[in-house]
């Protein structure tokens, strides 16, 4: 049970850092153009004629 003294704060820190990274990505516009990536996958720009 003594290990919980270390595991609980580490889990909270890991969870908060993940939340901070998600909020940072929202702030920087990582999820603004979700349809553009889906259309880009279907384009055949790399095919030579």
**Domain coordinates of the chain in residue numbers?**
1-46
Tell me the C-alpha distance between 10 and 45, whole Å. 47
Confidence of residue 49 (pLDDT cuts 50, 70, 90): low
- Phi and psi angles of residue 32, each rounded to the nearest 5 degrees, phi first: -75, -40
**pLDDT tens digits, one per residue of 6-23:** 999 999 999 999 999 999
Percent of the chain with pLDDT over 70: 90
The DSSP output letter for 28 is T
Report d(CA 23, CA 13) in Å as an integer: 15
Helices (H), the chain: 4-27, 34-42
């Amino acid at each position: 049970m003594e290990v919980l003294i270390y595991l609980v704060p580490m889990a909270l820190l890991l969870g908060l850092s993940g939340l901070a990274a998600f909020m940072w990505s929202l702030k920087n516009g990582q999820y603004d153009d979700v349809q553009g990536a889906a259309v880009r996958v279907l384009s055949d720009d790399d095919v030579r004629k």
